[in-house]
Chain A
Amino acid sequence: MPPRWANRLLEWYCRPELLEEIQGDAHELYYREAKTSKRKADWKFIWNVIRFFRWRNIRKRQYQYVNYSIDMIQNIFKVAFRNFLRHPGHSFLNVIGLGVSFVVALLVGWWALHENSFDRFHENPEQIFEIKSHVNANGTIETYGAARFNINLAALPEVKSKTVLISGTRWPNELCFRPDGKSNECIYLFGIYAEQPFFSIFNFPIVSGNQNPLAEPTHIAISQKMANKLYGDENPIGKIIKIDDHYPVTIASVFKDVPSNSSLQFEFVLPWEVFAKMRGMQPEQFHNQFFPVYFRTSADATVEDLTAKLNSPSILTEDLKKDNVSYSAFALTDARLHGEFKNGKNTSGRIIYVQLFLLVAMLVVAMAVINFVNLTTARASNRAKEIGIRKVTGAQRGSIIFQFMGESFFVVFAAIILAVVTGYLLLPLFNQLVGDTILVTWKKPAVIGYIVLGMLIVAFLAGLYPALVMSRFQAAHVLKGNVVTRSAGAQHLRKILLVVQISFSVGIVIFTGVLFKQLDYIQHKNLGLNKDHIVHIEPTYKLLQKYNTLKAELLKNPQIKSVTATAADPTSINSTTTGVRWPGMTEGMNAPFNVLGATHEVADVFGLNLVDGRFFGENSLDSIHSEVVVSESAVKLMNLDNPLGTLIKIGDVECNIIGVIKDFHSASLKQAQLPIIVYRHPTLQCSRLYVRYEGETTTAISIINDAYKKAEPAFTMKYGFVDDAFAKMYKTETAASKMLMLFTAIAVIIALVGVIGLATYNVIKRKKEIGIKRVFGASSVQLLGLVSKDFVLLILLASAVGMPVAWYSASEWLSGYAYRIDMPWEIFALGFFAILSVTLCLISLQALKTIRTNPTEVLRSE
C-alpha cells in the first residue's frame, strides 16, 4: 500500500471528478515500482502526489451563496448585543480579561518602541559611532567608552567629523547656575563639554542664536528648559553666565530640549576648552588622556570595518599597544539596548529585558485568548437552539461562522477600545514604574498599524475555534433538545490550553521569585563596608578648603558620627589601574586594582575592617613614602608573606603598606571583586564628602545643611545617600522586577479565571454523576477528590513543562552576576504549591456548590 497520509492528502486536495484517474495512475505506478523496491515506490508516490498538486487539479471551494443582506447583518448584531447583555457576568469576564491583557501588551509595546527609538532621531543615526577602548588586564578585558583625546581620526577618509564628549553626573558636568539676580541660590543642571562639530554630528536643533556655538571657547549653548528656568520668558541670548562663579561665558544659542529617547542627556553644552580651564590645565595636557569620543562617517560603514581601521598603526599608537589597549567602533544606535560588554565582547544589554517583556506580553494575550475560547465554547449549548433555528431557516455554515467571528470581533474591539483608553491613562503610572518618559506618538503609523494588526489577529484566533465548533451543530439534534455531544478532541484541546496557561503561570511566578530573591540578596549582601546612614555631599572648592572647620562644626552634634573626603565612591570605584608594581612581581603581569584615595577617616565612615597593621592616622608617620592600606585579596595577588612595610609602586609613587583590610565590593555585584588599594589623599584633591549620622535622617540633613551654609553660604547643598546610589546601580533590574511583578499578577489572575471557567464547566457536566454518587453515599471529600483529580494531573503536567523553562531562563539571567544566589529550590516548591493550592481551592469552591445541592433536585430534571 502506498503511504496512507500521502494518499489521503491527494484525496483531500484533488478535484473529485479528477480523483479517479489521477489516483488510478498514481497507484498503478506505485505497484509497478513496488515490485522492485517498496521504499523507492513510497518516495516516488509521495513525489507524484506533490507534483499533481496543480491549480487545475485542486478542489475549489464550492461557491456558497451566503446572503449577507443588511437585514441579516442587523439581526446578527442585534442578537450579539442581546446575548452580550443577557449574560453580563460572562461578557464582563470576556471583555475585562481580554482588555487587561491588551493593556499589558499596549504598555509593553509602547515601551519597546520607545526603547527601540533611542538615538534614532538623529539624521542618519547609523552613521554615528562611539569609540570603545578595551584594556587587556591580566587576561580579562575591561571595556571603556573612551579614546585618546587626540586620536588621529583624520587618517580615516570615511570619518566626516569627530568630537570629544565629556559627560558625567557630577562636577564639572553638574554645575550651579544662579537664577537671574540671586547670588546665594543654586539651580543644579547637567551638561556636557564637546568640540565644535558636536551640533553637526548630533541632531539637537538650535532654535535661536548662533548655529555653531562651540566655535568660540567663551560660548555656551543651553536648552529651552534651562533658559526658561534661569530667565523665564526673557531672551537669554547674549547673557553672560559665570561658570563656577569664575569663568564668564556668553549664551550663544538655545537648543530644543533633548528628547527622552536620547542616551545623551544634558541641559547645556560648553566648549571643551572651558573644561580644561576648570581643571586648571593647558589644553595640550589633555592630548594623551582618555575621553568619550564620537564620530560621524560620511557614508554607511560597518562596525567591523571601522574597528579594523581604528586598530591600524596610524591610529592605535605603539605605546597604547604596549599597554594592551585596542579600540573598537560602537554604533550609537546600539548604545541603549546592546551596550553591555563582557571580556571585550559586545554581549547584550537592555535588549534582554525588552525581549523578555515582549514575550511576557504575548503570553498574557495568548492566555486571555485561551480564556475567551474556553469561556465561549463552554457556553456553546446556550446558543445551540439559536443556531438550530438559523440553520432550519436556511443559514449555511458560512454564515454561522461569519456570525460568531463577528461576535468575537465585537468583543475584541470593545476590549481594544477599553485597553487604549486605560493604557493611555495608566501611562504616567507606568512611566514611574519603568523610571522613564515613554514617548507615545500617535502620528507614527506603526503604532496604529500594530494595534489594528494585533486586533485582527487576536479576533481571528479567538473567534475561529468557537465559530467552527458552533457552526457544526446539527439542526435536527439541537432542536430536539439533545445535549450537544462534545468530541473528545474538544476536551483535549481545552485541557491542553489550560496546561499552557498554568505552565506559563508557574514559569513566570518562579522566574519572578528568583529575580526578587537575587535583588534582595544584592540589597542585603554584606558588602564588606557600611552603606547605610551615610550622606554624600557634593563639595565646592571652598568647602574642601574649609574641610576641617566643617568637620569640627558637624561633629559638635552627637547625631553626626564621622566625616571623610574621598576621590571616588567606595561602593563603586569606577577607575581600575594596572599600574601597580610590587617586589617579586612577574614581568608583564597586568593586574587590575581598584584604588581609592581618601582622608584618614574613611575607615570610620564606611566601617572598613582592619585585619592587620594600622589605618592612616591624622598625620602620615612615613615622611618619605605615601601610606597605603590594601585589601586581603591584594595581598594574595601580590603574594606577600609579610605585607606590612612592603614598598609598592602605584605609577611613579612609592607607597608603604601600613595595613591590611578585609575585601569589600567596590563595584556592582555583576563584576568580580577586584583587589583594592586605599591611599591617603589630600583633602583638596578629593571630590566627595561623606557624613555618617545616626538617628532621624531629616534632622541629620538639617544639621548638615546648617554647617554647609556656614562654610559655603553662596551655594545650595547638593546631597544624596550612599545606599540610594548603590541601589541605582541596579536601576534596570529593579524597574524590570517591578514590571514583572505586575505582569505576573495579571498573568496568574488570567490563568485562574481560566481554571474557574473549566472547573465550572466540568462540574456542570458531571452534575448527574455527582448526584448519583451522593445517593449511593459518597462523602463530600470523595466527590471533591473526584472533580479535582484531573486538575492535579494537569497542574503536575504544567509544572513539568514550566519549571525547566523557568529554571533555564533564571539561571541564564543569574549568570550575569558574579555574585548570585544558588538556584532557590524553595521558590520552585513554593510556586508549585501556591498554584496548586489556589487552583484546588477555587475548584473546591465551585464544586461544593453543586455537591451541597440536594441530589434529588439534580436527578429530577429531565
Chain B
Amino acid sequence: MKGTYLGELEELVLLTVGILYPDAYGVAVMDELKQQASRDLNISAVHAVLTRLEEKGLLKSSMSDPTEERGGRRKRIFIITAAGKRALEEAQELRTQMYRQIPKVALQPIVVGY
C-alpha cells in the first residue's frame, strides 16, 4: 500500500465512487464530480486518479457485463474497499477535529464601525 495520505481530488473521487455504488465507472464518476463539485475534469485524469486509488488499495474493480451502448465494450466498475472506507472516515474525523479547535472568536464576522 502506497502512503496513506489522501489528496483532495482523491478524496472527492473516493466519495463519488461511494455515492455511485454499484455503478461507479470512469464517465459516471466524471459526470458526478461535475454535478456535485463543479469539477471539470478530463476523462483521462479521472482514470488516472481511479487507478492510483486502486493501487493504494482504497478501491477495487471488476469488469461489468458487456452492454449495448458502448459497442459491446465492458466497463470497469469500482467499489470502495474497507481500507477506503477507513481512509474516508479518518479524513472526515481529522477535519472535524481540527475545525473544532478553531477559537469561536476567529469565526465571528468582524464588525468595523463606531
Contacts and interface: CB of A to CB of B under 8 A. Distances in A.
Contacts of B69: 28, 31
A21 B74 contact: yes
Contacts of A20: 63, 73-74
Contact of A25 (B26, B48, B51): B26
Contact of B42 (A22, A27, A31, A48): A48
Interface string B15-47: 000000000011100000000000000111101
Majority-rule SS of A interface residues? helix
Contacts of B75: 21, 24-25
A4 interface: no
B48 A48 contact: no
Nearest to A20: B73
B47 A52 contact: yes
Given A21-B75, A21-B76, A51-B42, A28 B70 contact: yes
9 contacts: A21-B75, A21-B76, A24-B74, A25-B43, A25-B47, A29-B27, A54-B48, A56-B48, A57-B47
Given A28-B27, A56-B51, A23 B44 contact: no
B113 interface: no
B7 interface: no
B42 A25 contact: no
Interface residues of B, number: 18
Interface residues of A, number: 18
B109 interface: no
Interface string A18-51: 0011111111110100000000000000011001
A26 B48 contact: no
A57 B73 CA distance: 18
Interface string B73-99: 111100000000000000000000000
Given A24-B75, A25-B25, A48-B44, 12 more contacts: A20-B74, A21-B63, A25-B43, A25-B75, A27-B73, A28-B27, A28-B69, A29-B27, A29-B43, A51-B44, A54-B44, A56-B51
B71 interface: yes
Contacts of A26: 43
B15 to A, nearest CB: 20
A52 B47 CA distance: 9
Contacts of A56: 48, 51
A27 B42 CA distance: 14
Given A29-B27, A56-B51, A24 B44 contact: no
Contacts of B70: 24, 27-28
B43 A48 contact: yes
A25 B74 contact: no
A26 B43 CA distance: 8
Nearest to B69: A28
Interface in A792-808: none
Contacts of A52: 43-44, 47
A21 B43 contact: no
A22 B47 contact: yes
A660 B27 CA distance: 94
A181 B25 CA distance: 105
Nearest to B46: A25
A24 B73 contact: yes
A29 B26 CA distance: 10
